[in-house]
Structures are given as C-alpha cells and as structure tokens.
Chains A and B, each alone.
Chain A
Amino acid sequence: MSALQEEKVGGREFTSIFLIAVGMKLSDITTTILFDSGQTAGWMIPLLSLGFMLIAYVVLMSVLKRHPGQGLPEIVFAIGGKFGGALICLLLFAAALLMTSVTSRGYVDIINVMVYQRTPLYALYLMLLAAALYVAHRGFAAIARISWLIIFPIEGAIVLLVSIMWQDIDWLRLFPWLGPGPLKIVETGLMHSAMFGEIILATALVPRVSSFKAFRIGSALGFVISSLKISFLMAVYVSVFDYPEIIHIAYPFQQLTKNTSFGRVFTHAESFFIAFWLLISVVYFAFYIYLLAYLFGHAVRASDHRKLQIPMAGLIFFIGLVPGNTEQVRSYWELLMSYSTLLYGALPFIIWMLDRIRRSRHDSPQHPQPQAQPNPQANA
C-alpha cells in the first residue's frame, strides 16, 4: 500500500486537482467578500489577482526549472540552509493552516446555515474533516484520481446551473461596470491575490507529479481556467441578484442553487447541487490536509509525513472553531488574506534572489557558468 501511495500523479489528474482546489472559491465566502469591496465590478477582481499572482508564479517557476525533481521545500532548504529552510516552510505552513481553518469553518457555516440548522456546528465540522482525513490518508493518488473522475461532472453541473438560471440573468445589472472605480478595484485585486495562494503552495508537490512539464501545464491551466470560471460566476451572481442585494447575500452560490428547478415538477433542485458540492468539498479539504502534513513534515524533517495528517485535521478543527460567528470568520479571512498576500507575493522573489546569489557564488571561480553550457533544446 505504501509503495502505491508514493506513486506519481499524471498530468490530467494533477490539472483536475488544481481546477478543484482553485475553482472551489467560486462557491465559498471568497466571492461574498469580493463583492463587498468590488461591488458590480467584483468579477474583475479574480482576473486582476490572477495577473498579480502570475508574476510571482512565473518567477517561482524559473527557479523550479533549475532544480529538476525538487519541490518547494527541497529548494528552500537548499537555498536557505537548515534554519532558513525550516523557517520558510513553517511560515508557509502557518499561512496555509490558518487559511484552511478559516475557509473550512466558512464551509461548515454554509452547510449549517443553508441545510442543517439544527445540527451542532462542531458535529458537522468533525464529519467533514473525518471524511477529508480518510481521503487524504489514501494518499495523493486518491485525491488526484477522484479529482479526475469527477472533474467533468463538476464542470457539467456548473454549466447546467448557469443554463437553468440563464433566463434570470440580466447582464445590464453589471453596470456601472467599473463599480467603485478603477483604483479601488486594482487595490482590492492586489490585496486579495492570496486567494490564489495554492499556486505557490502546490509547487511543494512537484516531486509527486509525473514530470515537470505536466506540473507546469497543469498548474497554469488549472490556474487560468479556474480564475476565469470564478470571474464568470461572479458576473452571473451580480446579473441574477443585482447590485445592492448581492452584498446582503451571504452565500451567492448556494443562493443561486436554491433558485433552480428542473421544469415545473421538480421545483427544488438545490439539494442535488449541494450534494455534489459537498462531495467536492471533501476532496478539497483532503488536498489541504495532505498539503499541510506534507509541508510540516518537510519543515521538521519527519520521516513519514502522512502520520501528521491526523494532528493537522485536529489543528484545523480547533483553529476553525475559534471565530464566534460568520462575521468574525469574514474579518479573520480578510486579515489573513492581506498578510498571506504579502507572503505569497514576496516569497518567489526572495527565493529567486537567494538562488541567484547562491549560484553566482557557487559558480564563480571553479565551476563554469551553467548558462555557458550548450542548451540541448537550442540545437534540436
């Protein structure tokens, strides 16, 4: 079993993980918060964040390319040494842990408010994490394979949802299309770039993907498609619910599903969509539990990071219970978002710089410059 779970993941499977891990944001509190500051122009923010994050991503990829077969933790340890490496790993881990806790709490809030009002919050939370823990325990391969299995039904369900709601869409509600003004939008986009922090975190998993090319294509594709999807869905939310109302709707995606019906007979189809959404949430958090255990395992040089998954789920659970109510969840989320934007935005540049310095020192007297070596691809 252990040999199996260390198996590498193919390009398609990895791309689908990315599509799920990033695309899930169209259904959680991310959109709600973006509407607060973005108003009718909220749909532009994901695209702007994508633009900002792409720069950091490209810089990081240029470093990764020079270290074939190595993931973020390995590179960080190689560049920053034992202490610096552990520090950066732990910083990333802390940011990811807090973000996962707050996000998962947001999900449990949604489940609690929208469907299971009478079930205690912690019970719902425990069940969600237990299922996610089991999926994560089956390994990265399980997460990847489920993702590939359900990615087409998921995208199909979103298309179905939008096509059912098509008659309620009034695109004119997107106007005034600049919302609070261009400056404010750019600022919000920049400040919320960390909503695509997965793009930085996932580089830790490079050794788990079949090839670097598959990783590069998978992450870039997943990244771009997901942000386009989020942006489109946000535009749909505004066009369906209209501007002032959208701010008062806590969970636009779930609200949208509540309005769906299949013909005249089946007037309520939301449970169908919600069940689907729940299934994906389990995979989503399984991915995070796996990633957190992986990062922490590398930071403390643990021999088997999969044994850390149970403590990770426990940490997520207890930290997630800290906010007293949904309003606090949002304010914590905002706070975390700005700090982790700083981390995710700056880290690739720091790594790039350190890598540059280390190479120039390493290569100067004895070794020939790597750039001077003939590039096999240039000849071909």
Chain B
Amino acid sequence: MTTRQDGKTELSAQLAANLERLKRDFSWPQNQSLVIRNLVVAALKRDAAVLYLEGAADIEEIERRIIEPLVARGPSEFKNADPLDVVRLEIVTHRTGKAAETFDEINGDLLNGWTVLLIEGADRALLFETRGFESRQVPEPIVEHVIRGPKEAFTESAAFNRSLVRKYLRDRHLVAETLTIGDRAASEVTLMYVKDLADPNIVDEVKRRIREVRTDAVTSLPLLEQYIDENPYSLVPNALHTERPDRACAFLLEGHVILLMDNSPAAMVLPITLWSLVHSAEDHYMRWAYSNFMRIIRLLALFVAVLTPSVYIAVSTFHEEMIPSDLLLAIAATREKVPFPALLEVLLMEFAFELVREAAIRVPTVIGPTIGIVGALILGQAAVEANIISPILVVIVAITGISSFTIPEPSLNVTVRITRFILLFAGAFMGFYGIALALACILAYLTTYTSYGVPFLSPLTPHYRSSADMILRLPVHKERIRPHNLNPRDAVRRPERKSKP
C-alpha cells in the first residue's frame, strides 16, 4: 500500500491487505453495516471479495448481477489479459462498472451504495453502482410535524431505519453495533453513533446498561428506555424518541448515541438535555429570526404551562393587590356566585381538562370530534352557567392547556403537567412563598439531574462551551463548535474561516 503525493492511499495487490484496510476504515467488526462476502472467481481461479454497506446497497441486484456470474462462470478462453478487465467486460453482467485505484474513492462510493469487488493480485478495485437506499413507502411523521424539511419517518423495521439514517448521514465513521437482549425471546438492539464524535465513555455506559438488562424479552424501545433508566422514579425523562431520521442524524452529529429496534418506529436518543427536549425538528430549517421567534413563543408557553394556575391561585388568594383594580372587581363579581374556593375550582377544571385530553387519545378516531364538542361544552359554557366555575378560570385553564400542547416532546409534556400540580398546591398553600420554595427545590433537582452522566441543564448550567443552541440559536454559520457537555471527540464542526474567498 503506498500513499500518493495527493495524500490518497493506493490499493495493494494483496486481497487480505486491502480487506484489512477497509475493515479498519469502517470499524469492522464493531460496525456491522459493512458486509463482506468472500468468494472464488471460478473463471480466474482467484480469491475475491464483494463488499457493500447494508442499507445503502440493493442486495438483490448484487446477488443477481455480480455474485452469481462470478461464481457460476467456469474457466474458458478470454479475450482480455488483465483479470480486472476480464471480470468487468466478460463476466459480470451489471450495467455499470469502473475501476478505482485509491481507498478514498472506494470509501466514498461504498457510502453512496456502490459495491466493491476486490480480486487477489489486482491493485485496483471494481466498483458497481448498486444504490438501494430505502426510499419508497417511507411514512410521513405523525407526531413531529414540520412545515419545511424532509417528511420521512422511521418504520417498524430496524434494517429499514438503519438505511434511513445512513441515507441522511453518509459517514464511514457512522457505526452500527448490534447487541442482543432478552433471555427467552432475544431481540436485537442497534446502537448507532459516529465513532470519531461520540464520547467513548457514553457509548460504553449505554452498552453496559443494555448488557445488564436481565429479563425475558424486551419488545420495543419505550420498554428498553425504562429498563436502562438510571432514575426510574424520576419525573424527568432520560431519553428522547424521535421518528424523524433527519433529527436522529442531527443528534448523531452532536455526539449523541441512538438506539434502534425492530418493531419501534422511532430512534431513541441518549443522552439528552432539557434543550434537546424543547427544541423542535424544524428549528434549524427555518431562518434564524423565524426559528428564534418560534423558540421564544415555545419558551413562554413552557412557563405558562407550568406556572399559570399556581400563580393565579397565589395572586387571587394571597396577593390580590397585584391584579389591576378593575380586573379584580370583575373577577370578584363573577366569583360571587361560585360556592367553591379558588383551589377547588382550579382542580375541577384541570381535572376536566386532563379527562378530555386522555379521552381524546383513547377514543377511536371516528368518535374523536364528539369528545371535543362535549368537552368544550362542559368545560366552557355549561360549567360557567351552572356557577360551578368562574369565567376567568376557563381562560386560565384553556391557555395553560394550549401552552402545554406546544411542548414537542410527549415525555416532557407529562412532566410539565405533573409539575403544574405540584406548584399549584404550593401556591395554594403559601402563595408566592410556596411557589418560590418549590421552584428552588425543582431547580436544585434539575441542575443535578443527569442523563448518562450529562447534566440535564448543561451546557447552560453548569457552563460548557457550545454554540449556544439552547434557549435561542445562532445563525448556522456561527454554530461552529459542538456542545462540550457531551465531551465530543471532535469539538469543532467547522473551522473558522481565516479570510473571505
């Protein structure tokens, strides 16, 4: 193997050496995406190997057009002398075929779904275009809608999902490791990460926890999430599920690890921070100003969803002077006819709202709209007219409910809803004093909560270097470094440009 002047490495004449080099490049056998099929070319009486990337290449085409002719064709007279030309021109029936001299070319083409044929004694390789990324019958995302951006979603097949990930991220360092869990019904978990980005400690930790799972069967990712969770009683989620391959790749490029399993139409992202939970898939597809506007709205919505009922109770029970006098009188006038204390009113309404939400999920789609109509009637008009609740409460609960719908991640959504009740009781008990004390405790918990060793609020607190993609984001050309809280092996996304071209 010799290195040329332009830095590219040429192939050697030995099959074993070439294979060794390619295996190293693709981190084989850790990375089982690289498939190596050894065979003997009967016509030439030479050893050969066919290589392709699972998920990137069309396997059927490789079998029929490349492997079959190579193995089936017996020794006979050939017009060409060079074995490579013999194979390319006289044996293989594939529609394409070109020779490559350097590994760089081979690596690039492998990632794009080409198939490589290496022959003993030849210092060049043959490349066939067998691109076969799964791109048909890809469903659209159901939960993570976007207006702009790809509309492809994961399916229940892990191989299909791996192919989708590879389609978005054609990097030879993208490793797909397979682990087996379950004693009775073993199932396979694919661990994907970019080898020269992800922190090996995190990868090892995830692998260790998956290996430590001792149970009959783990059938899907949400179950696996709970098996490998370090704080199973915590209100805060420890992993994120995304059904979007583009989003999964964005996480991979930051140094996260993703898990894929058969029967789960999602990728599980580990480790996570609060920011990964509140960001939406679309945030980086929109222009800087637009996406920051959406983020501000969502941040406000998060605060509203957590705090509004408790602040209403605190203000109306303990700190009436805060409400403008006219509004105070108006509230007092409508509350005059309501026999219940404010806390009971809020609890009733919140309960009713949670009922509607739960019912809307459980009910068959056909009856869905009925729930909405009945719910709106019960929650809105009728309850007010029956003097069970005051009109201001309908406003409070409605705005809280709508705000909580803006939180993109379902786990965080439930966290927010439960936290709202904790703060509600704190506010009803001691007004702002209670809310402030409860918030201090919640902050103390959140700041020291970790997901696979990564602090939940990092890189904001504790402070780490990052591109500040947290509450707001920078324009993409300024997002130069990866967040350091994940301890990425390659910290820089994009070297700083010294001078303008």
Contacts and interface: CB of A to CB of B under 8 A. Distances in A.
B443 interface: yes
A38 B435 CA distance: 37
A10 B463 contact: yes
A307 to B, nearest CB: 18
Interface in B433-456: 433-441, 443-445, 447-448, 450, 455
Nearest to B440: A282
Contact of A127 (B437, B439, B443, B447): B437
Interface stretch (B112-120, B122-130, B298-306, B316-324): B316-324
A279 interface: yes
B462 A275 contact: no
B447 A149 contact: yes
Interface size grouping (class) on chain A: 35 or more
B164 interface: no
Contact of A271 (B322, B437, B450): B322
Contact of A124 (B433, B440, B448, B455): B433
B103 interface: no
Q: Chain B: interface residue count, which band?
A: 20 to 34
B425 interface: no
A141 B444 CA distance: 9
Contacts of B99: none
B461 interface: yes
Kindly name the residue among A116, A128, A282 whose own CB sees the greatest number of chain B CB atoms within 10 A.
Answer: A282
Interface-centre pick from B325, B439, B460 (highest chain A CB count, 10 A): B439
B484 to A, nearest CB: 12
Contacts of A4: 448, 450
Residue in B324, B439, B447, B455 with the greatest tally of chain A CB atoms within 10 Å: B447
Contact of A265 (B324, B439, B441, B443): B324
A145 B441 contact: no
B307 to A, nearest CB: 11
A148 interface: yes
A145 B437 contact: no
A242 to B, nearest CB: 25
B324 A139 contact: no
Contacts of A13: 461-463
Contacts of A141: 447-448, 462
B432 A146 contact: no
A138 interface: yes
Closest 5 CB pairs of A and B: A278-B436, A145-B447, A282-B440, A131-B437, A275-B432
Given A269-B322, A272-B322, A275-B432, 12 more contacts: A10-B463, A128-B437, A131-B437, A131-B440, A145-B448, A148-B463, A268-B321, A274-B432, A278-B436, A278-B437, A283-B440, A286-B440
Interface of B: 315, 318-319, 321-322, 324-325, 430-441, 443-445, 447-448, 450, 455, 457, 460-463
19 contacts: A10-B463, A13-B461, A115-B432, A116-B431, A127-B430, A131-B438, A134-B441, A135-B440, A138-B445, A138-B447, A145-B457, A148-B463, A149-B443, A150-B443, A271-B321, A271-B322, A275-B435, A278-B433, A282-B436
